[in-house]
Amino acid sequence: DAMVIQNPRYQVTQFGKPVTLSCSQTLNHNVMYWYQQKSSQAPKLLFHYYDKDFNNEADTPDNFQSRRPNTSFCFLDIRSPGLGDAAMYLCATSRHRGEGVDQPQHFGDGTRLSIL
């Protein structure tokens, strides 16, 4: 089945130690998103790629970076994780080809990040 796959499902890292989360998709969607979701809160958009174009949200800390080497893969890099970065990180994809030609976002199952 076509889907959005996130690895790993659970990640533990030490305070200040860089960590990379990965997302892959078989939907051939051109837009990929990264969200941060803390307990009992709504997902918060960090950034997204529209094709190869990177779009950062204004309030996303510089500590968070992203790479999209090809259509299928996208990575979230946290350069120096702090205790406040412990959360579920969700990857989502959608297709957008101009007004009226799009699909809603489809989410992966997330990576739960813990900081020691």
CB-nearer residue toward other proteins: 69 or 104: 104
Query: Coil, strand, or helix at residue 108?
Result: coil
Q: How many of the chain's residues bind other proteins (CB under 8 A)?
A: 29
Write out the two tokens for 33: 């998103």
CB of 95 to other proteins, least distance (A): 9
By CB under 8 A, residue 100 contacts other proteins: yes
Given 21, 25, 29, 31, the residue binding other proteins (CB under 8 A): 31
DSSP readout, 47-81? EEEETTEEEE-TT--TTEEEE-SSSSEEEEEESS-
CB-nearer residue toward other proteins: 77 or 109: 109
Q: Are 85 and 61 in contact (CB under 8 A)?
A: no
Q: Are 76 and 93 in contact (CB under 8 A)?
A: no
By CB under 8 A, residue 77 contacts other proteins: no
Q: Which of residues 34-63 bind other proteins (CB under 8 A)?
A: 40-43, 45, 48, 50
